Structure 1
Amino acid sequence: QYFGIARLVFGGGLHVRKDLIAEKGLKMPKVYDPDVIEVAKKTQDPSKDLWGFGQTLNRSDDGNGFLQNILWDWGGGTWDKEGKPALATSYLKENTAALQFAVDTIQKHKIQPPGVMGWTDVHNNEAFMAGKLVMTNNGASLYYAMGAKKHPLFDKTQVILTPGGPAGSFVASNPYNWGLFKASKYAELTDDLVRWVEDEKHFEEYMKACSGQAGPVYKLRAEHPYWKTDPNFQGMLQNILRGVWIGYPGPSTPAAIEVQAQYILCDMAGRVVTAGLSIDAALKEAHKRVEDIVRIRSRS
């Protein structure tokens, strides 16, 4: 048997240069289309290597998370309510529109930096801190890093709710848990360690040092006054509270996790942007890969 002990949920949101937004007299975006597109176009200046939006679709956790959220935002998804593959079947129309939007941020609207399809998880952080991005989705680690380094853009950054789409605003939850091994030579010590660290007083110390990275998995922690000490924490907290699981709207399954681990959604987008496949062909290709995973796992 395996037992998981809930630890935390990694917070995050859309990191925005609020100073640049204010200069143009704009409002913070609430949805991707048209808000993010319009804000990006009105604030970017490619001649100065300043880009409105930095969001890779490449193989990475950032790419995975963005694409999964976008599919949900447009009313689609990788899985249906019964947990069956849905990329090119029951949600084909919705997924087509969602994938088209993601690709358009690069090819049509040109609000993303050159080479963004070669980015991994670290590149948007570096670009934002270098003053080359107006907006980027990221975990609270970016906000934490800027604060820890006393970065000049720290006070010019606002973290807001991840934008949504026609069907709503969805965010894949990013939870962490403790795993204890019975066969460990020091099994009893690991039990004691978890009890000590998860004590509310000790967790509070840890939470306060993390700048939004140690999000609540228990109601009491979500109500802690800490989350009101910084306006940017509210966006992070609300993202956590509305998070959904991998596999949504169906069950969370090993197959759903494997689809994420194989970066099938990222590959799907990459096949359009870099290989020139049509949206329809890329969705059908990715759908088959998902079906293959389900079929292979059903044998075991």
Structure 2
Amino acid sequence: MVYIIRRREALALGASAAALALARTAAAQTIPTADVARPKWDIEKGASLKLIRPARFVEPDEVIFRANSAKFAKEFGVEVKVDLVGWEDIRQQAAVSANTGAGPDIVIGWAEDPHIYSDKVIELSDVAEYLGKKYGGWLFLGEKYGKKAKTNNWIGLPMGGSGGPLVYRSSAIKEAGFDKVPDDLPGFLKLCQALKKINKPAGFALGNAVGDANGFANWMLWAHGGALVDEDGKVIINSKETLAAINYVKELYPNFVSGTMSWNDISNNRAYSSGELFLTANGVSLYFSLKNDPATKAIAADTEHAPLVKGVAKTAPMSGTILNSMVFKHSKYPNAAKAYLAYMMEAEQYDPWLTGCLGYWSHPLAAYDKSKVWESDPKIAIYRDTMKNQYWTGYKGPITQAAGTVQAEYILVQMFASVASGQATPEAAAKEAERRSKRYYR
């Protein structure tokens, strides 16, 4: 889906310009900021920008993003071309652009992407440092995914993260004989078994789903004390902790709703909304859609959220699907790109986007803790701290090209799926994941 934003276009773009103006004013009043001088990026003469970003899961994400881009175009005289790309497709398009040295100036892709192309993107430290000083500092995952490993050089600019806590029907949990979701792995297994018995099953993605499947695989690994690599980047996936995680999923999987082996990132949303699924993990998009559709408001009222089960971890082993921006060196307009990214993160633009999406892309800058969105509905409060979680891709090692590639190739997802589907033993699956991971960690 391509959309070209020119200066002459109205700011509304399908939303009320007056409502957006009020939201911008409210943002300026409620988001605390420091008095920091904005860098002066000399925008190149005749500059225009092309960017790609993931397609929206909630409509305001796209509508307000376009409106903010239109506002930038009007104020700075820079034409902006926005191309919304399917979640599973954006990495392929980014790879083509990186390898050919042509294509979009800006890619707003996934967490590890700037680290995959670290030698082909420009440094964004001036943008990141300005925003950090003005908006109370970067939260843990923002800094972790923004900076090149073992340096203070920013090669990405995280715009937010979609958290993935447990989402469940309260009535189903009670019918299954539980007052709440257990915080231990044996108890969680018993809950899923009980839900299966009353024909109100749980389900988690085991297909090649960017957010949901990687989130589930990482959760299972971390909850059992496992990790892909150690602090130095040595592959340690073939471990007793990993085998414990695989065996747990092998026992858990028969209780899932059918079809999870082929699920993409929209599948559990659809199954939950249609009354086929009663427990899963998801971003706020699921609750948002339920709440705003008259046909599913009753399901929304019955929906609650809970942290992922800790297992042996000290805290809920949660991360997030991180939206991370990068600017390719082949761009003819790097200053315009920097100005655009900084502009999109300013309170007048960012808070209406955050609020309109009901916190779907949870903020990476501390000042946005004060956003009114987090007081608007107690059921979404759990998403506010998404970017404060201290688990990440390639945990426990650095975020590098290797970490990103292992994630992009779904190595951990396929490790679990191969055993759950009966195609491999736990020992063979862990060994294969080790072999595949070592191809990238050298």
TM-score range, shorter chain: 0.7 to 0.9
How far off is 1:17 after superposition?
Answer: 0.5
Q: SS where residue 439 of structure 2 aligns?
A: helix
Q: Give me the whole-angstrom Cα distance separating, in 1, the residues matched to 2:205 and 2:158.
A: 30
**Which of 201, 205, 230 pairs up with 1:80?**
230
1:271-290 equivalences under 5 Å are 271-290=418-437
Letter in 2 for 1:78: L
Structure 1 unaligned spans of 5+: 296-300
Contact 1:12 1:212 in 2 (8 A): no
Q: Deviations over 1:19-73 (max 9, x none)?
A: 3234456222243523322333334456x5x31x111222222222211121111
**Which of 288, 292, 309 pairs up with 1:148?**
292
Q: SS where residue 288 of structure 1 aligns?
A: helix
1:157-236 equivalences under 5 Å are 157-168=303-314, 169-181=316-328, 183-184=330-331, 187-236=334-383
Of all paired residues, the percent bearing the same amino acid is 27
How far off is 1:185 after superposition?
Answer: 5.2
Distance 1:144-1:118 versus aligned 2 partners, 3 A rule: same
Letter in 2 for 1:84: K
Q: Deviations over 1:155-205 (max 9, x none)?
A: 211122222212232123322233335654555544443343222122111
Q: SS where residue 294 of structure 1 aligns?
A: coil
Q: Which residue of 1 aligns with 2:408?
A: 261
Structure 2 unaligned spans of 5+: 1-121, 125-155
Q: Which residue of 2 aligns with 1:60?
A: 209
Q: SS where residue 236 of structure 2 aligns?
A: coil
Distance 1:223-1:103 versus aligned 2 partners, 3 A rule: farther
Letter in 2 for 1:67: A
Q: SS where residue 246 of structure 1 aligns?
A: coil
Q: Which has the larger radius of gyration?
A: 2
Q: Give me the whole-angstrom Cα distance separating, in 1, the residues matched to 2:279 and 2:416.
A: 20
Letter in 1 for 2:375: K
After TM superposition, the structure 1 stretch with the greater mean CA deviation from structure 2, 172-181 or 228-237, is 172-181
1:50-129 equivalences under 5 Å are 50-51=200-201, 53-61=202-210, 62-88=212-238, 92-106=239-253, 110-129=254-273
How far off is 1:273 after superposition?
Answer: 2.5
How far off is 1:282 after superposition?
Answer: 0.9
Distance 1:197-1:292 versus aligned 2 partners, 3 A rule: closer
Distance 1:32-1:103 versus aligned 2 partners, 3 A rule: farther
Q: Which residue of 1 aligns with 2:123?
A: 2
TM-score (norm 2): 0.60
Q: SS where residue 179 of structure 1 aligns?
A: strand
Q: Deviations over 1:212-270 (max 9, x none)?
A: 21212111112434313212222212343224221211211111111111111122122
- Give the root-mean-square deviation of aligned CA atoms: 2.2
After TM superposition, the structure 1 stretch with the greater mean CA deviation from structure 2, 127-136 or 10-19, is 10-19
Distance 1:292-1:183 versus aligned 2 partners, 3 A rule: closer
Contact 1:143 1:211 in 2 (8 A): no
How far off is 1:283 after superposition?
Answer: 0.4
**Which of 116, 126, 136 pairs up with 2:280?**
136
Q: Which residue of 2 aligns with 1:298?
A: none
How far off is 1:271 after superposition?
Answer: 2.0
Q: Give me the whole-angstrom Cα distance separating, in 2, the residues matched to 1:130 and 1:42.
A: 20
Letter in 1 for 2:220: I
Q: Give me the whole-angstrom Cα distance separating, in 1, the residues matched to 2:223 and 2:287.
A: 25
Q: Deviations over 1:100-148 (max 9, x none)?
A: 1112112xxx320123222222221111001111210112221222223
Q: Give me the whole-angstrom Cα distance separating, in 2, the residues matched to 1:243 and 1:230.
A: 25
Q: SS where residue 154 of structure 1 aligns?
A: helix
Letter in 2 for 1:124: N
Contact 1:161 1:238 in 2 (8 A): no
TM-score (norm 1): 0.86
Q: Give me the whole-angstrom Cα distance separating, in 1, the residues matched to 2:261 and 2:328.
A: 39
Distance 1:272-1:21 versus aligned 2 partners, 3 A rule: closer
1:285-296 equivalences under 5 Å are 285-295=432-442
Q: SS where residue 211 of structure 1 aligns?
A: coil
Q: SS where residue 255 of structure 2 aligns?
A: coil
